Amino acid sequence: MKFTPETYKLPDISMQPFIDDEEIDDILKNAKPNREQVLAVIDKSLNKNRLSLHDTALLLNTEDPELVELIKDGARKLKEKVYGKRIVLFAPLYVGNYCSNNCRYCGFKASNKNALRKTLTKEELIENVKALEEHGQKRLILVFGEHRVYSADFIADTVKTVYGVKKDHGEIRRVNINAAPFDIEGFKIVKESGIGTYQVFQETYHHPTYTTCHTSGRKSDYDYRLTALDRAMEAGIDDVGIGALFGLYDYKFEVMGLIRHVNHLEACYQIGPHTISFPRIQDASEYDLDDKYAVTDEQFTKLVAILRLAVPYTGLILTARESRQVRDEVLAFGCSQIDAGTKLEIGAYAENPGVDQNLNKEQFKINDDRTLNEVIDELLDGDYLPSFCTACYRKGRTGQHFMEFSVPGFIKKFCTPNALLTLAEYIVDYASPATAEKGWKVIERNLKQMDEVYHDKVKERIERIQAGERDLYF
Ligand code: SAM
Ligand code: SF4
C-alpha cells in the first residue's frame, strides 16, 4: 500500500504499520537536487515550514560540498532564529541490563555470556540518584533492558522512587524513560507515575535490516516496535521520542524513516514527537556487525543539519556517544538537549569506578566523558546557555512543545528566563568557582538583552535564589 496525504486523513491509520520501504527507495531514487531546489528547500524551512519527504530526499542527495555547507548554514540560522542559545542538560541512569532480546549491536543482548548482569536495588537506586543530585543534575532518562522483571509496575515504582529522592537542595524534576514498549495498559501504568518523555527507537526502519539485526525476542517483531508510540499515545502519553540507530543501514533511508514516523504521529494524533534521537553505533561487548553502513563524521553532521531543517520544531537529542569535537559542531545546528557527566555502568554514579569503561558492564562505548561541570563550563565559553528547565512539563504545557517554536515570544517569556533561573541555582549550589564566575557573567549579559519587564522579574527571582529559595520558574 502506498501512503499519501489522503490516506493519512483516514481515522483508522493509528496503530497501523506505516513504513513502506519501496516508497522510501522511490522517493530517494527520484530526488535529483539542483542548486535552486536546495536553496528553495532551505528557505522553506527557515520560514518555519516542515519539509516533505521529497524535500528531505533532495537535501539527503546533495553531495556538492558547497551546497552541503549551505544546508549546514541553514540549520545554524534556524537554530539562532528559533531556539536561541539554550541547551538543556540531562543524564542517563541505567537501572538494569537484563534482556531477553538479541539486538546484535548491543552489549546487553541475551546471548552475550560476558555481560555482567545487574539491576539496581532500591537502595542502590537512591544512592545513585543522590550522587547525580550532588552534581547538580535535575533531569534524568532511566534506561532498562527488555525483560519481564522490568514490568510497567516496576518502571512506575522506579520513577516514583527517583522523584522522592532529595539530597540537600537537589531533586530530580523530570524523569524520562527509554525502555521496551508496552501494551496500552502498561503505558497507562507508566504514565501515572509522572514520566516526561517516553522514548522508543525503531533502530532501523529498513525491514530486511531490522530482521537481520534483531534475531530473537519480543523486539524481533518490527511492527510491534513501530506502533509502540501509537499505543503510548492511545494511553495518554503525548510526549514521545523517536530515534534511529545510525550505522545499521543506509543513513539516508533512516532519516526518511524518521520523517515518515513524524508524519504518521502528526497525522494520527495532531502532534509530532517531542524529540528525535540519532545515536551512531559504537563498539559494544560481543558486537558482531560489519561496518558496511558506518556513518562518517561528514555524513553524520550533514544528517543532523537535515533533521533540524526537516522538523524545525522538534527537540534533537545529542548524546555522549559522540566525541566532543563532533558534539561542538552539531550543537550549532540546533540540538536542544545533551547529556553530560554520563556514566553507563550500572551503579557507577554512586560507586565512582573511574572513567575507564568495562564494556561487559555497559551497553556501548562513549566518546565524551566530561563531567557535568566541564560541559557547562565549555557551553558557557561557547556562548550557550545551559538549562535544567522543567517548567513546561510541570505547568502542564505538555504535548505542545512546538509552542516554543510557533508561539511568538514563547522563548523570551519562558525558555530564556527559566534557563537563567536554573543556571543560577546550579551556580549557587554546585559550580566550581571558575565556572561560577563565568556563569554570572553570562547571566548578566543575558539579563541586559532582556526587555525591562522580563529583566526585572528574572532579576528579582535570581536574588531570591541567592537568598536560599529554589525551584522558581515561569
Ligand atoms: N532495551 C530498550 C530498547 O531496546 O528499546 C532500551 C534501549 S537501549 C538500553 C537504548 C538505545 O541504545 C537503543 O535503543 C539503541 O538505539 C542504543 N544502542 C544499543 N546498542 C548500541 C551501540 N552499540 N551503540 C550505540 N547505541 C546503541
Ligand atoms: Fe536489549 Fe535494548 Fe539492548 Fe536490544 S537494545 S539487547 S532490547 S537492551
pLDDT tens-digit series, residues 156-195 = 999 999 999 999 999 999 999 999 999 999 999 999 999 9
**Dist. CA 75–CA 312, nearest whole Å:** 9
Best mutation site among 104, 219, 321 for ligand 2 pocket (most ligand atoms within 8 Å of CB): 219
Question: What are the φ/ψ torsions at residue 181 (nearest 5 degrees)?
Answer: -75, 150
- The DSSP output letter for 178 is E
pLDDT in tens, 196-247: 999 999 999 999 999 999 999 999 999 999 999 999 999 999 999 999 999 9
Q: Which residues does a 6 A CB cutoff place in the pocket of ligand 2? A: 99, 101, 103, 106, 108-109, 145-146, 219
pLDDT in tens, 86-139: 999 999 999 999 999 999 999 999 999 999 999 999 999 999 999 999 999 999
**Grid coordinates given for 153:** 509496575
Q: How far is the CA of 363 from the centre of ligand 2 (A)?
A: 8
**In this structure, which ligand is nearest to the CA of 98?**
2
Query: What pLDDT score does 399 carry?
Result: 60
Q: Are 23 and 2 in contact (CB under 8 A)?
A: yes
Q: How far is the CA of 100 from the centre of ligand 1 (A)?
A: 14
For residues 38-47, average pLDDT? 97
Q: How far is the CA of 106 from the centre of ligand 1 (A)?
A: 6
Torsion angle of the four alpha carbons 165, 168, 173, 178, in this order, in degrees rounded to the nearest 10: -50
Task: Report CA 113 to chain centroid distance, whole Å.
Answer: 30
**Grid coordinates given for 431:** 559550580
Q: How far is the CA of 40 from the centre of ligand 2 (A)?
A: 41
**Dist. CA 336–CA 307, nearest whole Å:** 12
End-to-end CA, the chain: 47
Amino acid at 191: K
Supply the residue whose CA is at minimum distance from atom 26 of ligand 1.
Answer: 281
Best mutation site among 108, 176, 201, 283 for ligand 1 pocket (most ligand atoms within 8 Å of CB): 201
Res. 1 pLDDT band, cuts 50 70 90: very low
Res. 140 pLDDT band, cuts 50 70 90: very high
Task: Report CA 223 to chain centroid distance, whole Å.
Answer: 22
Helix (H, G, I), strand (E, B) or coil at 403: helix
- pTM here is 0.95
